[in-house]
Amino acid sequence: MTDLQHRPGVAGILSAYDAIDPVFLDTPLVRHAAADAELGLALHAKVETLNPIRSFKGRGTDWLLRTMPSSGVPIVTASAGNFGQGLAYAAAKRRRKAIIFAATNANPLKIAAMRGLGADVRLHGEDFDAAKGEARQFSAEKGYVFVEDGAEAAIAEGAGTIALETTRQTDMRGIPLDIVLVPLGNGALLTGVGTWMKAKMPSCRVIGVVAAEAPAMLLSWQRGTYVATPSAPTIADGIAVREPVPHALETMKTTVDEVWTVGEETIRSAMRFCLQHYGLVVEPAGAAGVAATLEHRERLQGGSVATILCGGNVVC
């Protein structure tokens, strides 16, 4: 069980906001009248695709490395691509080697981007969780530092700065929020956002969104125990988790109200929705929150809803 002192906290989120590379901070919160009319609700979309790695992951990785002791020991992780880019970016700034394991069928754009940022990328296994198992074993054998996305409070606190900015932006505009929809993969984004929202805007419900084809985190959260699935065959590689992260599951108990699923075709529709209404190319996992507004619109009618367009790395 996760000790309370190792969970993300509001103080950590505030400290992260003051320390994270500004290139990742103060992103737009956009609203489009035509989008609202189509959905029957007010949708506030936090855009996290305009930074050098085109995803929110740079927030958590930069804060993580700032909180870690300086060292020449390489850092090892596994990634579907965006977390790896964030870690590679943060490591390069500190002249530290990053070794990243990814699945053999990982998004080639993301693999190239990780390598372009200086990471040593090694392909192993047929999915993210197989790559993570290899990364964990490799780091143990070499005595390197293994970092698991979703299992470090600092990563969630970095991600939680998105919620900090969102509440400041809505407060400045006099906008109430009823619900925030957050893509759920390894859980750092959801638990970071939930930590802030429960403390600063407790009336706002925090809802995680998983792909129906990758329900491991949902099943584990519902049953209160670790539930892995044989596969996670979703187009949304950023949330294609079949082996849950225990740290995130424990933290979700106090930071999340519900978890919803979205189907593959709805995810594709959400990507088209983002391009049509916001002029943004958003990857499948990044559009999961928008997919929830499409698939569950009857549960959201008339509400004020926020979501995070958390990645834009798409193979065209």
Over residues 224-265, the pLDDT tens digits come to 999 999 999 999 999 999 999 999 999 999 999 999 999 999
The gap between the terminal CA atoms of the chain, to the nearest Å, is: 42
Query: In angstroms, rounded to a whole number, what is the distance separating the alpha carbons of residues 52 and 142?
Result: 31
pLDDT at 316: 60
Query: In angstroms, rounded to a whole number, what is the distance separating the alpha carbons of residues 198 and 67?
Result: 24
Sign of CA dihedral 264, 273, 285, 210: negative
Report yes or no: 194 and 206 within 8 Å, Cβ to Cβ.
Answer: yes
**Cα within 13 Å of Cα(91), Cβ side:** 27
Q: What residues in the chain have per-residue pLDDT under 70?
A: 1-5, 316
- pTM here is 0.96
pLDDT at 213: 98
Report yes or no: 36 and 290 within 8 Å, Cβ to Cβ.
Answer: no
Q: Is 54 left (phi over 0), alpha (psi -120 to 50) or beta?
A: left
Query: In angstroms, rounded to a whole number, what is the distance separating the alpha carbons of residues 238 and 292?
Result: 16
Q: Is 309 exposed, middle or buried (0-12, 13-18, 19+ CB in 10 A)?
A: buried
Question: Count of CB atoms within 10 A of residue 233's CB?
Answer: 13
pLDDT at 6: 84
Smallest CA-to-CA distance from 159 within 119, 187, 128 is with 187
Smallest CA-to-CA distance from 260 within 233, 221, 224 is with 221
For 24-40, give one letter per residue: b (16+ CB within 10 A) or e: bbebebbbeeebbebbe
Structure tokens, 101: 């394991």
